[in-house]
Structure 1
Amino acid sequence: MHKKIFKLFEYVYLVMAVFSLYLVWENWADNRTRAYLFAFFAVVAIFMFFFKRNFRKKIEERNKNQ
């Protein structure tokens, strides 16, 4: 059960990144400062996806070896 929840939250970060990139696209012409803020959120969300994925795989590998 926990493995599925951890995988789900990984992909939630990707959804957040895609939504943030959409908001960058929408705000680019009108409010450049807001677009940069959402671009930062997208980068952080992508980083968190890979960080959580790597951490989950390490935990699974450690549990498999025990």
Structure 2
Amino acid sequence: MGYLKYTQYVYIAFAVYFIYDGIIKLNEGSENYALSFIIAGMAVFMFFFRRKFVKKFDDRNKKQ
């Protein structure tokens, strides 16, 4: 399960992309920019959630 330590960074990559996309849409005057920022916020939340989950998983494995 070593890949779990690295998959959390995919969420940061998605957040950066959607923030960039939101800024581009905001500058163009598109009405859909808020959706990009919401998805970016969810991706940041998932990053921290996964970090906590991986730490809890590692701590549980160390006790056994």
Q: Taking structure 1 as the reference length, what is the TM-score of the superposition?
A: 0.89
* Structure 2 counterpart of 1:25, one-letter code: I
Aligned equivalents of 2:24, 2:5: Cα separation in 1 = 29
Partner of 1:57: 55
Q: Which runs of 4+ in 1 moved over 3 A?
A: none
Spell out, residue by residue over 1:8-60, the C-alpha distance to the aligned partner (whole angstroms, 9 max, x if none): 210000000000000011000321x3110000000000000000110010010
Structure 1, gaps ≥5 residues long: none
* Structure 1 counterpart of 2:19, one-letter code: L
Partner of 1:40: 38
Other structure's SS at 1:13 match:
helix
Question: How many matched pairs?
Answer: 63
Aligned equivalents of 1:21, 1:27: Cα separation in 2 = 10
RMSD: 0.9
Structure 2, gaps ≥5 residues long: none
